Amino acid sequence: MADHSSDACAAACEQVDGSITRVFGLLGKRWTGPIVSVLMQGPVYFVELRRAIPGISERMLSDRLTELGAAGLTVREVDEGPPLRVSYRLTEAGAALGPALKELGRWADAHLPGGAGVDGGC
């Protein structure tokens, strides 16, 4: 007689599709979530974006913005100046992440240590 629990586990493991792997491969990288979250508020200059995310280096911010651009989630725009200024904004595809990110934020508040739903936090 076959072990049905083993079969169920194998079937569940096979169901993890490439879309989940791709999403977390991009959005699961350190700093990507906070960058997208700041950009949800509208176009932001590079310098302002860096100030909005304490601890991120210029190089890491630049790398993550390049990755988000390559994925079609952000657009880089150059104001010729003077002074020359570079801003970033979300594309339609990037902005479409809004509801999912808000839901993840609500989940984190309710279920992760330090959230509003834990220890009576604000």
Domain-embedded: residue 13: no
Domain-embedded: residue 116: no
For the chain, where are the E strands, in sequence order?
44-45, 74-79, 85-90
Between the CA of residue 102 and those of 58, 74, 93, what are the distances in Å? Answer: 26, 18, 16
3-state helix, strand, coil in the chain (%, to 5): 55, 10, 35
The whole domain housing 58 covers 21-111
Q: What is the pLDDT along the chain (122 residues), one digit of tens a residue?
A: 555 566 766 666 666 678 888 888 888 899 999 999 999 999 999 999 999 999 999 999 999 999 999 999 999 999 987 888 999 999 999 999 999 999 998 999 999 988 654 443 33
- pTM, 2 dp: 0.76
Instruction: Tell me if 74 sits within 8 A of 89, measured CB to CB.
Output: yes
Domain-embedded: residue 91: yes
The CATH number that applies at residue 56 is 1.10.10.10
Domain-embedded: residue 106: yes
Domain count across the chain: 1
